[in-house]
A = this chain, B = another copy of it.
Amino acid sequence: MARDEGRGVVALSFDYGQRHRAELRAGERLAERLGVTRRVVLPLDLRLIGGSALTSDIEVPKDTAPDPSRIPVTYVPARNLVFLSLAAGLAEVSGAGELWIGVNAIDYSGYPDCRPEFIRSFEQTVHLATREGVESAGAGRAGLVVRTPLAEMSKADIVRAGAALDVDLSLTHSCYDPPDEEGTHCGHCEACALRRKGFQEAGVADPTVYAG
């Protein structure tokens, strides 16, 4: 979407101790295919903090109906806050006026740090935290804008938008617990369930290889 708006893109991925490297490989393939100005992979060992099925020995739930009243065990403490904070530092150094993040608050797992109210609050905080924010305020400019184009879209809408932009969606990654790093999806975790349903509802052929 950013490339389609004519933006130059600095792509940032986090090597944060997640239980697989498949999403980092997917980020690499997508960055290459879409043409980015620079790709940064930041190592950050969140296993030292722990508390999540994605960074510790807690098991990823399979084939279970999500309980909408509970934040699931795949929640990583303060993850998007940490990611956005580091991205804000990189944005400042890169001279970027916008920070894009693909959070979704419709077909998602109920993570607090995917909600629009969190994103808006973060934007206020980052304006107070950085040199760029202080200088923008002094000059009457708005400062760094956090863009979340997927926030209010269903998974089906996201699939449709990707297809309309001719994105090769086989390069994208959703699975929490992939059996390999080549893009195969387990087919049984909550992220796979949401992905499958998205393609079905969009009426777009699903190019994903599911192991089961």
Contacts and interface: CB of A to CB of B under 8 A. Distances in A.
Contact of A88 (B40, B78, B86): B78
Copies in the complex: 2
Interface string A116-132: 01100110111011110
Interface string A47-91: 011110000000000000000000100011111111001101110
A49 B90 contact: yes
Interface string A30-44: 000000000010111
Contacts of A86: 49, 78, 82
A42 B88 CA distance: 19
A158 interface: no
Using C-beta atoms within 8 Å of the partner chain, give the interface range for chain A.
Answer: 35 or more
Contact of A128 (B85, B92, B121, B130): B121
Interface string A88-103: 1110110000000000
Interface of A: 40, 42-46, 48-51, 71, 75-82, 85-86, 88-90, 92-93, 112-113, 115, 117-118, 121-122, 124-126, 128-131, 133-134
